[in-house]
């Protein structure tokens, strides 16, 4: 009985001590655009991971979280993106920055789309760089091209180019395909298209033109811990899926996993 009791004590100690070590050595993440669908999925991944000890959330408004994990690990900071230079302090104290900001032309108009998907993102990246961000993650889009004649891919490409010129120690740009999610906001034609694809193409070739937001969030969360990567990397949909398959807590050599992407 004494031996059994001793074993139980050792297991409990190891579990508690291990968690404390993770919390003390984990990264501090900062997320902009955390109320959108991709942002929500990412934050969920970060909160559930012991590799992140704190998540700073920057947005226009605060969210009333009810789950204990979210309350314990997150800190919400409200800012006015139109006056972003008045909120330099909001971008302090993070090791890695995840940017999930984005809207659509249909929702915000051409001018509003450019303001969010270029001005806001570039402004947030500039302050993040100024405050010592070591790794900036950007959710862009498949087909991003600054020389495109179409507004959406053109603005996405211009944003990527602007961030690349900032020379972050490490910049990861994600180009997912159509994001698969049950949105809280109603977008009629997008909902119809997503429903058709979900029951046809996604079943046959899930990596072809779709990206579940959970897959994207998992890939972004894990990528902060990959090594031997270029200072600027663009991850297409297939690379996003490969990253999401990795397990941050696994004993597999992360360098080997990264090089296989």
Closest CA to 103 of 83, 86, 81: 81
200 CB-near residues (< 8 Å, 6+ apart): none
List residues bridging with 232 in a β-sheet: 171
Radius of gyration of the chain (CA): 20
Cβ density class 244-257: b for 16+ within 10 Å, e for less = bebebeeeeebeeb
Catalytic residue among 44, 73, 156, 174: 156
Count of beta carbons in the 10 Å neighbourhood of residue 176: 23
Q: Is 149 a catalytic residue?
A: no
**Is beta strand 178-180 parallel, antiparallel or unpaired with respect to 171-174?**
unpaired
Q: Helices in the chain by DSSP H: which ranges?
A: 2-25, 37-48, 68-73, 105-114, 121-130, 151-165, 188-198, 201-204, 213-223, 237-244, 254-259
Tally of helices (H runs) and strands (E runs) in the chain = 11, 9
CA dist 171 and 137 (Å) reads 6
14 CB-near residues (< 8 Å, 6+ apart): none
CA dist 244 and 240 (Å) reads 6
Q: Is 156 a catalytic residue?
A: yes
Cβ atoms of 232 and 202 within 8 Å: the answer is no
Catalytic residue among 152, 165, 174, 256: 152
What residues are annotated to the active site?
152, 156
């Amino acid at each position: 009985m004494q031996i059994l009791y001793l074993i139980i004590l050792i297991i409990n100690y190891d579990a508690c001590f291990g968690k404390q070590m993770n919390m003390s050595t984990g990264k501090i993440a900062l997320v902009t655009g955390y109320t959108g669908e991709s942002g929500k999925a990412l934050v969920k991944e970060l909160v559930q991971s012991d590799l992140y000890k704190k998540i700073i959330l920057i947005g226009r408004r605060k969210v009333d979280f009810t789950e204990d994990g979210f309350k314990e690990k997150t800190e919400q900071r409200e800012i006015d993106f139109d006056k972003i230079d008045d909120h330099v302090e909001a971008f302090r104290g993070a090791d890695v920055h995840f940017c999930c900001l984005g809207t659509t032309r249909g929702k915000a108009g051409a001018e509003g789309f450019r303001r969010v998907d270029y001005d806001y993102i570039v402004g947030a990246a500039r302050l993040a760089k100024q405050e010592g961000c070591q790794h900036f993650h950007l959710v862009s889009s498949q087909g991003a091209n600054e020389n495109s004649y179409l507004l959406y891919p053109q603005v996405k490409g211009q944003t990527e180019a602007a961030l690349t010129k900032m020379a972050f120690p490490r910049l990861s740009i994600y180009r997912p395909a159509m994001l698969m999610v049950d949105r809280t906001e109603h977008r009629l034609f997008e909902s119809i298209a997503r429903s058709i694809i979900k029951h046809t193409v996604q079943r046959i070739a899930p990596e072809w033109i779709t990206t579940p937001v959970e897959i994207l969030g998992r890939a972004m969360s894990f990528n902060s811990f990959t090594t031997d990567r270029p200072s600027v990397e663009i991850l297409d949909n297939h690379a996003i899926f490969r990253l999401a398959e990795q397990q941050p807590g696994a004993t597999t050599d992360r360098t080997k996993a990264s090089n296989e992407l």
